[in-house]
Chains A and B, each alone.
Chain A
């Protein structure tokens, strides 16, 4: 039993505890500890990815209690892929916070590490109730992070976010309780076995539990019509927090994919493909409405938040196709959309600082100093998000469109994905021209004209470089995504790895 599986869960937890104990240290030392932990997390994630890339499924039984009695952590290709994406994103969000945002409130670094703890745990756990616990950990950290910096608009958005997520947690508990009451287990692998063998009189209950669970994950993923909390919450969070939150909706998408393939996969008998009729239409509607929001946004952070909604829509269209190619396309698109959205959140903060009172609102203002540099970075970010060739957004969307070729919903998928790509292009082109071209020489706001700092440039360029790296190494990345999809569609291997000799 390799301890590597639990390491990405323990490292942020320990770092968070150490940062809490050393809270009186000067800020630069705390930043160094947090950054060291984030780099260590990347190293662990890469090691984990290498360990599972051959197709092995690593199982870690906590306290050495064998499944299905004990809680297990399971690392397969999908989990390692998600942990690595999170770790890379977290490092750059953390570096950007080092530009002074972490001084706006207390315990920023502690909450940040706890958020990473919850995220890694949610990706690696192999137990439904444990997933609930990790959801609560990442949510309670996210409540603190969302309110970081204070202010009336954050409190207002935070109230909605907290109440909605508490309702989601209640629903999650109802679903988990129902699963346990009917099937007598909470272990994913054991659930998969027992769902397939559900006696006919219990089918309704299991179906209800499965759909409740889907509702909870759809709320986390901001799937239409449960997306209304997202734009306000993300647009009012500070930039590094909003950038980190770019992965939060993907936790919901990950959970939908995991339950969809493992619990309600083709082997699940009468309950096979339980959410299939709901997922694709909801995802298509999410993409369409998200992109309308992008068009209607009045400020850049709001636009970035709606782009997150649209990217969740695109991602779940890929997963909703339910085919091997669809899931592979989605898994390639997932890190791309995370990095691109995060870079836009960071960029909009950097741009807002330089526009004085106009902040990131779409209205004419004084010239931005070094507009060429910021405009160039915005251009790359916009090309990524709009899905234009030659960058990874295009490759991801192309893979999704190609995966839809044999699907009965082909006209819907192609129509909506291509039409929204055009809308996104128009909206981003308009934002760019308003922010960078329609400015006037302004001599009043001299105080805001500071030059770019490395704390701003390194994270933004780093995130864009990751997305460009996904373009250059699209071959290996998409091969890995395909291998992960193959593994997901063969749940027997997962079940055998977890239950092993227990059955």
Chain B
């Protein structure tokens, strides 16, 4: 499970970095989304991987660390808001500049 999760995070990050470096705003937004997925999984894994352990003391023999789950929740909420914002900005940029290049397609 550790190897699978590490590979997933690595693959998501690699795809995210590649897409963020693209010139079109759609690819950049997708790249940012991939990166935020990667970081959410990473944060989650920082509480250690375990199966069938509730984050509640006393509910099972051992309990999982609840803090990373709270951190991930915060990160997801913020990431969601930021993605919504950057999509709106990309649309506005497409409307105002007439193209979807991240640099606005050269000087006006």
Contact = CB atoms under 8 A, between A and B. Distances in A.
Given A140-B85, A160-B102, A177-B43, A170 B93 contact: no
Interface residues of B, number: 33
A156 B82 contact: no
Given A152-B97, A180-B71, A159 B42 contact: no
B28 to A, nearest CB: 6
Contact of B39 (A152, A162, A170): A170
B32 A155 contact: no
Contacts of A147: 89, 92
A163 B20 contact: yes
Contacts of B96: 150-152, 155
Interface string A186-213: 0000000000000000000000000000
B46 A178 contact: yes
Contact of A155 (B20, B38, B97): B97
A180 B92 CA distance: 38
A411 interface: no
Interface string A153-188: 101101110110011011001101110110000000
Given A133-B78, A152-B104, A159-B90, A167 B32 contact: yes
Contact of A163 (B32, B47, B68): B32
A86 B85 CA distance: 26
A112 interface: no
B42 A177 contact: yes
B102 A163 contact: yes
Nearest to B29: A163
Contacts of A181: 45-47
Interface string B76-91: 0010011001100110
B89 A158 contact: yes
Contacts of A160: 102-103
A155 B92 contact: yes
B67 A180 contact: yes
Contacts of A159: 25, 89-90, 93, 102, 104
29 contacts: A133-B78, A136-B82, A140-B82, A140-B85, A143-B85, A143-B89, A147-B89, A152-B104, A156-B97, A159-B89, A159-B93, A160-B102, A160-B103, A162-B85, A163-B20, A166-B82, A167-B32, A170-B32, A170-B39, A173-B39, A173-B75, A177-B39, A177-B42, A177-B68, A180-B46, A180-B67, A180-B71, A181-B45, A181-B47
Interface of B: 20, 25, 28, 32, 35-36, 38-39, 42-43, 45-47, 67-68, 71, 74-75, 78, 81-82, 85-86, 89-90, 92-93, 96-97, 102-104, 108
